[in-house]
Structure 1
Amino acid sequence: MDILYLLIPLSLVLITLVIGAFLWAIHSGQFDDLEGPAHEILMDKDDIVPPKSIPPERHQ
Structure 2
Amino acid sequence: MNGLIILIPCAIGLGALALLGFFWTLRSGQYDDLEGDSQRVLLNDDPPDQD
Q: TM-score, normalised by structure 1?
A: 0.64
User: Identity percentage over the alignment?
Assistant: 43
Q: TM-score, normalised by structure 2?
A: 0.74
Identify the structure with bigger relative contact order (alpha carbons < 8 Å, sequence gap 6+): 2
Q: Which has the larger radius of gyration?
A: 1
The RMSD of aligned alpha carbons is 1.9
Instruction: Flag structure 2 segments of 5+ consecutive residues without an equivalent.
Output: 46-51
Count of aligned residue pairs for this structure pair: 45
Q: Which runs of 4+ in 1 moved over 6 A?
A: none
